[in-house]
Structure 1
Amino acid sequence: MSVERQILTGPTVRPLEHRERIDWHDHAVHQLIHPLSGVLRVSTARGSWVVPPNRAVWLPAGVPHAHQANGPTEMRSLIFEVAVRNEPTVLVVGPLLREVIRTLSEDPDLTAEHRHHLEQVALHQLRRAEALPLLLPAPADPRLVQLCDLLATDPADERSLRELGRQVGASERTLSRLFRAETGFTFPQWRAQLRLHHALHLLAAGRPVTRVAVDCGFRSPSAFIEAFRTVFGSTPGRYRDG
């Protein structure tokens, strides 16, 4: 993996087209990335996060990362000299923080004093913001990588770990152990997280909730709605429409 050091000197606004990718890079400063619209997939060596408009991802200085847009996306970025988190973290963005990010990133007429005060408000909000366990860990073992790629291609694949193991050349017991060791998740937990990540992309494209439930492999729309509400604090329909 080739990592480019990008120099950030202030807030940025970057429109991204559907599936447009920003390749691996890092920064010497701490960065907050927030999609004002659209959905971003943010990847680090640990795995990937799906970041919708009511979320942001905190990236500490020196952490290599890459982005990919799902749907037309407007990416806002702020930089900070002070760290509020020690590792990449997805945070809830409330109305106040959202407006501060918007103002800092798009208003060129802010005085230095006004900008400083807004940055202090942003830091205060970030320290209080709820952190969400939305990481989809990336394994390293070639057999797990192959298995995870199969499921990423078709999250609705219902095959058991034993059946998938036959295709990748490993036993169910071996794969189960590797999942825990390399991702910190059991196989069912990892697959559930993958399906929710995929659901965010489909909802961002305007798909009906019942169709998303089927395409992501949930046993029923009600099961999908409950799983989505538990993780994201909103029903999928409200998320899609908002």
Structure 2
Amino acid sequence: MRMGDIQYPEPASSPILAIERGSSYENGQPDIREAHTHAEPEFLWTTTATVTVRTESRDWLLPPGYGIWIPAHVPHAGAVRHPGQGGLMAMDPVQCPIAWTSVTGVRVSPLLRELLAYMLDADPADPARPAAESLLIRLITPCPAHDIAIVMPADQRLRVIAERLLTDPSDQRELAHWSNLAHSSVRTLTRLFRAETGLSFAEWRTRVRIRAAVQKLSTGTPVGVTARQVGYRKTSAFIAVFQRVTGQTPGTYLTTEP
């Protein structure tokens, strides 16, 4: 992500070195970062963009409302798959209170999202800033165990399909339709989806839809509206699939998000 509008808190009183507002896609071209490392821990989050981050152990998918903690000196590469906004926070490696040693996914709750927005625009001398920083850091917590993991396929033919579905989870096209776009047979795509993600195409698409639904529900979108926006014509069918994947009803996400 291309970053700008950097704000620097007072280094003596803050573990935050810099906070940057990010925007993606300039002149229609995706922003891609090759593998690199940083001497300081970083927290990357998305507001409206969809981003993939590749580490040595796995690929991470960050749809809107999710973030990732990258410890210092961990090699990683990234690409923006859907244009939008996000941000990056660099931490002082000495003062940083978060001691995670591995890359960790984070769900950006509504309260955390508002604090990040405040930090991006607040004056460094704002007397409320230290308290806001302290609460913000406390809210950077690992995704819950029931969070829906999405494995991104490496094969470029599958990537074309996967990225289209990330952009529009409600897309109803089956592999027979996608095979022309991917210049491959349905049989080959079926085999590759299972080999690279551990899931069938239908199962993978369902996870993408339910993860998108979690984000919509957490921002107050009604269950019926959410169902239609992620590709389910009947709310009852959506509720049944949602409960099978997450072990909870959609209403749980409407009422428990901070």
**Above 0.5 in TM-score?**
yes
How far does residue 50 in structure 1 lie from its aligned partner after superposition?
0.8
Report the counterpart of residue 63 of structure 1 in structure 2: 76
Change (3 A) 1:233 1:32: farther
Aligned to 1:109: 125
Distance 1:17 1:93, change over 3 A: same
Residue from 81, 84, 92 that aligns with 2:100: 84
The residue aligned with 1:180 is 194
Following superposition of structure 1 onto structure 2, how do residues 1-242 of structure 1 map, counting pairs within 5 Å?
10-14=17-21, 16=23, 23-25=31-33, 28=38, 29-34=40-45, 38-45=47-54, 46-52=59-65, 55-61=66-72, 62-67=75-80, 68-70=82-84, 73=85, 75-80=86-91, 81=93, 83-84=99-100, 86-91=102-107, 93=109, 95=111, 101=116, 105=120, 106-109=122-125, 124-127=138-141, 130=144, 133-148=147-162, 151=165, 155-159=170-174, 161=175, 163-164=176-177, 167=180, 168-172=183-187, 174-196=188-210, 210=224, 213-214=227-228, 216-225=230-239, 227=241, 235=251, 238=254
Q: Kindly report the root-mean-square deviation, in angstroms, between the aligned alpha carbons of the 2 structures.
A: 5.0
2:3 touches 2:87 (CA, 8 Å); kept in 1?
no
CA distance in 1 between partners of 2:123 and 2:146 (Å): 29
Asked whether the equivalents of residues 223 and 250 of structure 2 are also in contact (C-alpha less than 8 Å), the reply is no
Q: Is the 8 A contact 2:43 2:67 kept in 1?
A: yes
Cα 1:210/1:236, change in 2 over 3 Å: farther
1:88-111 per-position Cα deviation (integer Å, ceiling 9, x unaligned) = 51335474x557645654340169
- Partner SS for 2:51: strand
CA distance in 1, matches of 2:136, 2:228: 39
* Deviation of 1:14 (Å): 1.8
**Secondary structure at the residue paired with 2:49?**
strand
| Structure-2 change in CA distance of 1:47 and 1:89 (3 Å) | closer
Unaligned runs of 5+ in 1: none
171 and 15 in structure 1: CA distance in 2 versus 1, 3 angstrom threshold: closer
Q: Aligned-pair distance for 1:202? A: 8.3
Residues 100 and 145 of structure 1: is their aligned pair in 2 closer, same or farther, counting only changes over 3 Å? closer
Letter in 2 for 1:87: V
**Aligned counterparts of 2:109 and 2:32: Cα–Cα separation in 1:** 25
Q: How many residues align?
A: 224
SS in 2 for 1:178: helix
**When you count helix as a share of all residues, which structure comes out higher?**
1
In structure 1, C-alpha distance between the alignment counterparts of 2:23 and 2:198, rounded to whole Å:
32
Could you tell me how far apart the structure 1 residues matched to 2:21 and 2:53 are? Answer: 20
Summarize the Cα distance change of 1:17–1:221 in structure 2 as closer, same or farther, 3 Å threshold.
Answer: farther
8 Å contact kept, 2:19–2:89? yes
Q: Following TM superposition, by how much is the alpha carbon of 1:208 offset from its aligned partner in structure 2, in angstroms?
A: 8.0
**1:28-54 deviations in Å (ceiling 9; x for gaps):** 13222345xx423121232522132xx
Question: Hey, what's the Cα distance between the residues in 2 that align with 1:138 and 1:100?
Answer: 30
Q: Distance in 2 between matches of 1:102 and 1:233?
A: 30
Unaligned runs of 5+ in 2: 9-16
Q: 1:214 to 1:110 in 2, by over 3 A?
A: closer
**Contact in 1 for aligned 2:30/2:79 (Cα 8 Å):** yes
